[in-house]
Amino acid sequence: MRTAVTEDLARSFGLSGEEYNRVLAIMGRTPTLTELGIFSVMWSEHCSYKSSRVWLKQLPTKAPWVIHGPGENAGVVDIGDGLAAIFKMESHNHPSFIEPYQGAATGVGGILRDVFTMGARPIATLNALRFGRPENPRTKRVVDGVVRGIGGYGNCVGVPTVGGEVNFHASYDGNPLVNAMTVGIARKDRIFLSAAAGIGNPVVYVGSKTGRDGIHGATMASTEFSADSEDKRPTVQVGDPFTEKLLIEACLELMATDAIVGIQDMGAAGLTSSAVEMAGKGGVGIELDLDQVPARETGMTAYEFMLSESQERMLMVLRPDREQMARDIFHKWDLDFAIVGRITDTGRITVRHRGTVEADIPLAPLNDQAPLYTRPTVDTPKQEKLNPARIEDRYGLARALEKLVGCPDLCSRAWVWDQYDSTVGGQTVKRPGAADAAVVKLEGLTRALALTTDCTPRYCMADPEMGGAQAVAEAWRNLTAVGARPLAITDNMNFGNPEKPEIMGQFAAAIRGMVAACETLDFPVVSGNVSLYNETEGRGILPTPAIGGLGVLDDVALAVGLALPPWLDIMLIGNTVGWLGQSLWLREIGGREDGAPPPVDLAVERANGDFVRTHILNRTIRACHDVSDGGILVALAEMAMASGVGARLMTHPPGIPGHAFWFGEDQGRYLVAVADYATFARAAESAGVPAMRLGTSGGQNLTLPDGGSISIAALRNAHGRFFPSWMDNSTQKETP
C-alpha cells in the first residue's frame, strides 16, 4: 500500500505550503513518498541553513593559511611541515535531550566522520556542553548520560577528549547543548573532498548496515520541542564506536592509495544528503540501487533507506580499476563494502528499489532552489552600564572567592574529564585543566596544536554583538595563553526559533560581533554548524555561538600552563575598570543577572595577546592564565589550585572598589608569572601594554589585600565539592 503524497503530508515532514509548491514546480508532478522525503530533509533547516545562510556569508573565511573554508565536511588550515589540520564543531542538541547517552555519543561519532572523511587521522576531540539548572531534577540525568555518552564513544574509538566547557543555566533546562569538535591531521597534498566525478564510476557504500534508526532526525532537529518530545526517541540513532574505529582505520588505509575519487560520510539525512551532495558538487548525476544497500533489517522501504540515519556509514566514488583493492581493505577490517550505484551524466538522482524507480529528481533545482529566507530581525535592547561604586559588597573577598570557585559554573570539572580518556595517542601535552587550551603534539614532530572552545552565553543574551565578539576573542586569548599562534575557528551557532524576530536579531548581531573579532584578530571561520529551534514550550536558550579555536605552537617545549610556580612575581596584563555587569560575582554574590556585559576592545585584545605570546615564547612568562569568568581573583585561585602554591597579593589601585577590581570581568586580560616584574613591566610599557604587579607567589595560602586569607586546601575543597556530591559518585567499594 502506498502512502498518498499531499500538502498535509508535506507539512508533517516540515515543508511549508510554499516550499511544497516549489517541489511540485520542480518535479512537474506529485512527488513520490521517497522524493518528498528527500526534498523535506534537504530543505530542512538542519541541511539547508535556510534561515542562517544570508548571515553566515558575512563571516571572514580567508587567510593565507586557509586551505578549505566552509562548504566542505570540515575546515582545513596549513600548519606547516607539509601538514594540514582539519577541524569542525557540530551540535547534537536535540538528540541529546531526548536520549542523552546516544545523542552525545553519536554527536562525537558524527564529528569524527566529518574529519576523517577528508583524509585526516583524528587526534583530539573537545566538547562544549550547556545544561539546565542543577536544581532541575532532570538536569542530573542529562549530565550523566551526556558525559557517559561522550566517554563511551570517544574512549572506545581511541581519540583523546582533551578539553571543552560545561555551563549551567535555566534556559537550557529543556534544551541542553552538546557541541562536539574534532581535529585531525592530514598531509596537505592528500585532502579528500566530496565531489563525485567520472561517469560510470562505482558508488560504494562502506561501514555499518542500514536500519530504521534516525529516520527524519534532521527534520526533528529543525523544530521546537514540546512536552511530548520524548516520544521522538526512535528518531535518535544508536552509536557503535567499535565500527567507527574500524572505519577510520580502513578509510585511512584506502586513502593512502589513489582509489578514491570522492568521499562523504552519511550524517544527517543519511544516504540522501551524501548522494545529493557528492553528485551536486561534482555536477554529475547519481544512480542508486537500494537492493544493494546492506540492510540490518528486512522489509525496509526506499523511503526508509534514503532517510535512515544509521551511524558509521560512508559513501565513496572509486576509480573502477581500484574496486577490488578497496574491497579487500574493507573486508580485512570486517566492514561491509557494497557497490550501490554509478555516477551518471543525467544531472539527476535516480533511486531504484525492487525494480521500481522510487525517486528521480533533478539535482540542480534540488540544491539551487532550496529555500533561503531573510527573516525579520529585531535588535536586542542595550542594557545599562552598571556603576561598580553603587554595588555594595557585604561578603568580603575571601568568602566571595570560596563561594565563587565552588559554584556550578566555576567549580572543578574533574568529575567530567576524569571520565574521558585524554591521553590515548600519547601526544597530549596539556591535559584538561592544565592550561587555558589543550595542547596536543604532532607525533614525531616538535610542532603542536592548541585547542579550545569558548562562549559566554550570558554576555550574548545581554548584548549579542558584544557576546559574539567576546566568544571569538576569548578563544583567541586561550590559545595565546599557552603560547600558540591562533589560526582559525569553527563556529557552532546555537539559537532559538529563527521565525521570531528577536531570535533572528540575536543571530544577526552575534555574527556582526564575530565578523569584527575575526577580522581584527586574523582568525577566520573555516567550518561550522547552525542549530536553531533550541526552544522548549516556546522558551529559547541563551544565544550560544560556541567557538572552537585552533592554534599552532612551532616548538611544543615552549608551551606554558596555568599552574602557578613558587617565588615569582604575578603580573596582570590589560586594563581593569572593575566591570561587574553580567559578571559571575554579580550573579552568585549579588544575586543579579543584569547590566551590559564587559566591552571587548579588539585592537587592545590583539596588542595584549601579541605581547603575552612573545614573552611566553622567549621564556619570560612561566605560567599564564586568561582572566575570564570570576575575574582576577578566581583566575589566580585557579592557578594556585593547579600547583598547590599560594600567593600574597598587594593592595589594588585606588578609585575602584575592591570587589570590582578583584572580581570584575574586564576583557583582554591575562595573569602571568615572571621572575622579575621590573624588567617585564618595562617591556610592557615600551609595547604600550598595561601591566600591573599584583603580588608574589609562594606559601600555602592566598593572602588577600583586605587582610583576609584562604588556604589552597580550603579552595580545593570548595572547588572540588559540587560535581561529586551532586552526582553522588562518592561510593567506592571496599577492598576485600
Partner 1 sequence: MKAGIVIFPGINRERDMAIALEASFGTAPRVIWHKDTNVAGLDLVVIPGGFSFGDYLRCGAMAAHSPIMRAVKAHAERGGYVLGVCNGFQILTETGLLPGALLRNASLRFLSMDCHLRVERADTVFTNQYQPGQTFRAVMAHGDGNYFADKDTLDRLEGERLIAFRYTTKAGEVTPEVNLNGSARSIAGIFSPNLRVLGLMPHPEDLVDPLMGGTDGKPLFDALAAA
Residue numbers at the binding site for partner 1 (CB under 8 A): 148, 151-152, 155-158, 240-243, 245-246, 333-334, 417-429, 431, 441, 443, 556-557, 729, 731-736
Give whichever of 161 and 344 is closer to partner 1, judged by the CB atom. 161
Rounded Cα distance, 478 and 453, in Å: 9
CA 21 to chain centre: 36
Told to judge if 92 belongs to the known catalytic residues of this protein, a careful annotator would answer: yes
Q: In angstroms, what is the minimal distance from the CB of 429 to partner 1? A: 5
Run of H or E including 572? strand 569-573
Told to judge if 216 belongs to the known catalytic residues of this protein, a careful annotator would answer: no
Give whichever of 243 and 520 is closer to partner 1, judged by the CB atom. 243
Rounded Cα distance, 289 and 205, in Å: 11
Q: In angstroms, what is the minimal distance from the CB of 601 to partner 1? A: 36
User: Which cell numbers in the block locate residue 77?
Assistant: 588550515
Was 625 annotated as part of a binding site?
A: no
Give whichever of 415 and 585 is closer to partner 1, judged by the CB atom. 415
Question: In sequence order, what DSSP letters do the residues of 34-92 get, joined into one string?
Answer: HHHHHHHHHTSHHHH-TTTHHHHTTS----TTEEE-BTBSSEEEEEETTEEEEEEEEE-
Give whichever of 332 and 399 is closer to partner 1, judged by the CB atom. 332
Was 309 annotated as part of a binding site?
A: yes
Was 310 annotated as part of a binding site?
A: yes
Give whichever of 107 and 432 is closer to partner 1, judged by the CB atom. 432
Run of H or E including 614? helix 602-617
Was 49 annotated as part of a binding site?
A: yes
Residues β-bridged to residue 127: 164, 180
Was 421 annotated as part of a binding site?
A: no
Q: Provide the total of helices (H) and of strands (E) in the chain, helices listed first.
A: 25, 28
Was 113 annotated as part of a binding site?
A: yes
Was 213 annotated as part of a binding site?
A: no
> Are the CB atoms for 128 and 547 separated by under 8 Å?
no
Give whichever of 250 and 307 is closer to partner 1, judged by the CB atom. 250
Was 384 annotated as part of a binding site?
A: no
Q: In angstroms, what is the minimal distance from the CB of 334 to partner 1? A: 7
Q: In angstroms, what is the minimal distance from the CB of 716 to partner 1? A: 15
The residue annotated as part of the active site, out of 68, 92, 615, 659, is 92
Rounded Cα distance, 281 and 367, in Å: 10
Q: In angstroms, what is the minimal distance from the CB of 79 to partner 1? A: 18
Residues β-bridged to residue 439: 430, 450
- Return all residues near 684 (Cβ < 8 A) that are at least 6 apart: 571, 573, 611, 690, 691
396-402-404-410 Cα dihedral, nearest 10 degrees: 160
Was 245 annotated as part of a binding site?
A: no
Was 601 annotated as part of a binding site?
A: no
Q: Please, is 706 exposed, middle or buried when counting C-beta atoms within 10 Å of its C-beta (0-12, 13-18, 19+)?
A: middle
User: Which cell numbers in the block locate residue 554?
Assistant: 612551532
Give whichever of 242 and 567 is closer to partner 1, judged by the CB atom. 242
Rounded Cα distance, 308 and 162, in Å: 31
DSSP E strand stretches across 621-700? 621-626, 647-649, 670-674, 691-697
Rounded Cα distance, 134 and 172, in Å: 11
Q: In angstroms, what is the minimal distance from the CB of 370 to partner 1? A: 38
Q: Please, is 140 exposed, middle or buried when counting C-beta atoms within 10 Å of its C-beta (0-12, 13-18, 19+)?
A: middle
Give whichever of 403 and 716 is closer to partner 1, judged by the CB atom. 716
User: Which cell numbers in the block locate residue 74?
Assistant: 570540515
Q: In angstroms, what is the minimal distance from the CB of 147 to partner 1? A: 9
> Are the CB atoms for 106 and 239 separated by under 8 Å?
yes
The residue annotated as part of the active site, out of 46, 169, 353, 625, is 46
Question: Residues comprising the binding site for ATP?
Answer: 49, 88, 491, 528
- Residues designated as active site: 46, 92
Question: Residues comprising the binding site for Mg(2+)?
Answer: 90, 114, 265, 529
